[in-house]
Amino acid sequence: MVDVRLMVVKVGSSTLVDGAGALDRDFIRSLCDQVAELVARGTRVVVVSSGAAAAGRDVLGFQERPSDLATLQACASAGQARLTEAYAEVLRERSIPCGQVLLTRRDVMDRDGFLNARTTLTRLLELGAVPVVNENDTVSTAEFAFGDNDMLGALVAALVGADLYVICSDVDGLYTANPQEHPDATLIERVEEVDHRLSEMAGGAGTSFGTGGMSSKLRAARAMLAAGIPTVICRGRRPNVLAEVAGGAHVGTRFEARAGAPHEGGRKLWIGLAEVPRGTIGLDAGATRAVLERGASILPVGVVSTSGTYAAGDVVNVTSDTGDVIGRGVARYSSEDMARVRGVRLDVISRFLGEGSAQPAVHRDDLLVF
C-alpha cells in the first residue's frame, strides 16, 4: 500500500441515496466497512459527507429538492441526525467512535477559527475517531456557504494536512467529453495541471439530489494541486474503491502535481479556500505570465479591470487575460483605489499619492495561485 497515513473522503449526495432519494444504508455500511479496513491498516480517515438535505427530504416527505432556502434548511436539519447516526451505528459495531463536525465558511473565515477547526479535527483523529464533516446547512447563508461539499472537502484536506483527498462520485472520473452524450469519450487517468481546456470538459450542474457537478470537483482538485495534496475523483459505488485508491491502483482520475512542483503553505490555503472573495481583479497578459511563470506579485500596472466592492485587506479573485480564475489573494487597495491605480506604474503612484501608496495590488505572500 502507498504510504497514506491520513485520507479525506468526500461522498456526494448522488452516491449516498438510492433511486427513490432515500438514504442508502447498505451503501453506508459498505463505505464504513472500507473505512474500518483502512483504520485497521493504520490510515486515519475523515469523511466529508453530503446527504443531509436529501435524507431530510425523505423524512419530511418531499419528492424533489425544494427551491426555497427555509425548506432546504429544514430538510438539512431533519436529515442531519439521520445521516450522522447511520455512520455512527455502523462504525460503533466496529469499535470505532464517530465524531460529527458541522462547518460553515463563517467558522473558518478568520485565522483563529481556521486553526480551531484544525485542532478539533486533529484531536478527534488522535483519539481514534472518524470525524464525519458536513456543511452546517441549517444555519449557513448564501454569502458564507461553501456551495458544494467538494470544496469543503478540499478545505478539510488542507486543514488536517491529508496525504490523499478522494472524491467519491457517481461517475468514474473526468472524461474528455460528457460520456452520456459522447460514447467515444475516454477517461483521463492523470492530471498535473488544470487549464482552460480541462475546465471546458468539466460540464455543469449535478443531479437533483446534489449541488456539485464535475466543474466543482475540478475546482477542488485545482486547489489541492496548489496544496500538494493528491486528489482522486472516482465512482464511489465501485467495490472496495477506497482500499484500491489508497493502494495506488489506477482508479478514476488522479490529480497530482509533477515532481518538484512548489506547494503553498497554510496561510495561503486559508486565503484561497476559506475566505469569501469580495471582488475580482483582471490582469493583462504580461502580469498573467509574471504571476504564473515567475511567481511575481501583482503590480497595479498589470491590473486592467476591477469589479465588486472591497476594502484593503479583503480577498479578491484574480483572473488572467483570458478571463480564467488563476488565483485568490488579499488586495492591498480598496476597490475605489484599485480603480484609480490600475494600469499605473509604482513610481507614478508614489509621485502623486506618496510612497506609502506605492505597493503591489496583491503581494505574492498573500496570493494563492491555482
Chain segment 97-144, per-residue pLDDT in tens: 999 998 876 676 667 777 888 899 999 999 999 999 987 655 544 443
Q: Domain 6-255 is of which CATH architecture? A: 3-Layer(aba) Sandwich (3.40)
Class (C level, CATH) for 277-369 = mainly beta
Within 10 angstroms of residue 315's Cβ, the number of other Cβ atoms is 22
The reply to whether the predicted model has a pTM over 0.85 is: no
Asked whether the predicted pLDDT for residue 206 surpasses 50, the reply is no
Place 202 in a pLDDT band, splitting at 50, 70 and 90. Answer: low
Residue 23 DSSP class: B
What is the pLDDT, as a whole number, of residue 204? 47
pLDDT of residue 337: 93
Model pLDDT, residue 203: 58
User: Domain extents for the chain?
Assistant: 6-255, 277-369
Element (H, E) at 220: helix 214-227
Q: Among 66-70, 227-231, 240-244, 323-327, which stretch is predicted with the lowest mean pLDDT? A: 66-70
DSSP 61-80: T-SS--SSHHHHHHHHHHHH
Q: Hey, which of 100-104, 141-145, 201-205, 314-318 has the most confident mean pLDDT?
A: 314-318
8, 188, 229, 272, 325 from 168: Cα distances, Å:
11, 16, 16, 23, 25
Residue with the bigger pLDDT between 114 and 297: it is 297
Bridge partners, residue 349, by sequence: none
pLDDT: is 18 or 251 the higher one? 251
Residue 209 has pLDDT above 60, yes or no: no
pLDDT at 290 over 70: yes
